[in-house]
Amino acid sequence: MTTRKSRVLIIGAGAAGIAAATRLLAGGIDNVVMLEAEDRIGGRIHSVGFDGSLVDLGAEWCHGEKGNIVFDMVKHLNLLEKSFHDYTNDTFCISDGTIIKNSMKDLIELADDIFYNGTASGDVGDTLGDYFNHEYKKRVGDMFPENRDRSNMTEMLLDWFHKSYLDLVPAKTWFEVSMMGHRRYKKCEGYLYWQWKKKGYLTILHVLMKKNPDAAQQLPIDDKILLNKEVNRIEWDRDDGVIVGCSDGSWYQTDHVIVTVSLGVLKSLGHLFTPKLPLFKQDAINLIGMGTVAKILLKFPVKWWPDDVAGFSFLWTKTDRNNLLKEFPYGPSDHGKSWLEDIYGFYVVDSHPTVLLGWNVGKMVEQVEHLADHILIEGCIFLLKKFLGHRYNVTYPNGLLRSKWKTNPHFNGSYAYQSLEAERRNVSREDLERPVCDSDGKPVLLFAGEATHSKFYATVHGAIETGFNEADRILEIYKNN
């Protein structure tokens, strides 16, 4: 068996892995190897070319400023700019043809306040869905437009808020999300829609590697990253350190492993570890939630929507929901519900003037990822024409780009959330983050990535912080050597 030896081996070259590697290099540990299963770096940062410039199939916005390590790293480098659109004041479209414009901002702000600042009663069984429904109905008062029936509008909006917030807590339903656990999530203060000037979120990796702003100062990291290295075995309690094997037959010996793969990968590949991981780690991996959202980008030959529209949010009447499978019977369904209901809107993309971005959430995301492109496109055009065809000349798209985070075994999902079951079992993210030591008490398995962050999970800034933290843990061990 031929092995390559290193002081530290990092599994995964996403945000957490790159952050950990750059921190180690800057701290004087340069005997580092990185194994990346994909043929690219970035992980769930995936900036790809589309119609002449980059779009992001994964992380997209720099959300917030205060306490956001991403914003702090780039705020003086002229790499960010504010979105050209106000995403808090969408155009809401009802399936019966009614369009409500510029009148929902107060409702969105109310819902955001409940979602981000709500305080549950303290019952460990409280779900985000139960809490939100109760608070929203109690606080909404007389905020509905006067020309709509209040009860119908309440139900349509609740349905939309449910789906739109599944972007942030990507469970199959918000009744799987612990309200007490969700309270630990922290939103960074400040503007939420900083964009990357058509260069994609990949920009932050170049900043971490010091390729930007001055390529002459870049860290010697490129030759340490090995692509197409799918790990299939980790032997971690040995006298000679940790042995890591890959599916191509290569083996690596190291003193410490920083595991930065997604929680979804850990859930599906827990058998990689020999011996088995300690019970606290197994419970954290199995019980903390991992979900999926999907992006659907449609490029049109011409821009058929007005310049002052940030997007179109879809509200379904009960009648139209009941008739949907008859009108469009193609694709998956669940208990009489069409997959099209879970595409809750289409929104403009600042960098691409003829592209609309659709968000797909909920129970059927994986099944939608398996759909053929032509069925996906036909379904999206059916939606756009149903909601907007009476007002706009909705054309057929001439380009499609879509994410497939769930069906890619190197990710097995988008990002993490605090499940109700984890809260009931008193399983925390600290358990997911805590290192595993060998028989001599040396931390040999360290864990980083967005899912391990106690308050910034599901974010790039959270992932980067965890990468730095685990690298610092190793640097502390050797600082006097």
How does DSSP classify residue 32? E
Which pLDDT value is given to residue 144? 56
Query: Would you list the DSSP string of 74-113?
Result: HTTTT--EE-SS-TTSPEEEETTS-EE-S--HHHHHHHHH
Distance CA 435, CA 430 (A): 10
| pLDDT tens digits, one per residue of 65-85 | 999 999 999 999 999 999 987
Distance CA 462, CA 302 (A): 38
The dihedral built from the CA positions of residue 420, 426, 427 and 433, taken in this order, carries a sign that is positive
Which pLDDT value is given to residue 105? 77
How does DSSP classify residue 236? E
Tokens of 88: 């808090």
Distance CA 386, CA 179 (A): 35
User: Is the peptide bond between 145 and the residue preceding it cis, with omega within 30 degrees of 0?
Assistant: no
> In angstroms, what is the C-alpha Rg of the chain?
23
Distance CA 279, CA 298 (A): 45
343-349 and 311-315 as β-strands: parallel, antiparallel, unpaired? antiparallel
| pLDDT tens digits, one per residue of 182-227 | 988 999 999 999 999 999 999 999 999 999 999 999 999 999 999 9
9 forms beta bridges with 33, 257
Which pLDDT value is given to residue 108? 84
Domains in the chain, ordered, with CATH? 3-73+196-289+411-478 (3.50.50.60), 91-191+294-402 (3.90.660.10)
Cβ proximity of 391 and 350 under 8 Å: no
The pTM of the full predicted model, rounded to 2 decimals, is 0.95
How does DSSP classify residue 120? -
Distance CA 289, CA 425 (A): 13
Distance CA 335, CA 331 (A): 13
Residues of the chain short of pLDDT 50, as ranges, are 147-149
Which pLDDT value is given to residue 118? 81
How does DSSP classify residue 419? B
Closest CA to 269 of 126, 412, 91: 412
Closest CA to 110 of 153, 89, 140: 140
SS3 177: strand
Report the run of H or E that residue 240 belongs to, with start and end.
none
User: Is the peptide bond between 213 and the residue preceding it cis, with omega within 30 degrees of 0?
Assistant: yes
Which pLDDT value is given to residue 481? 66
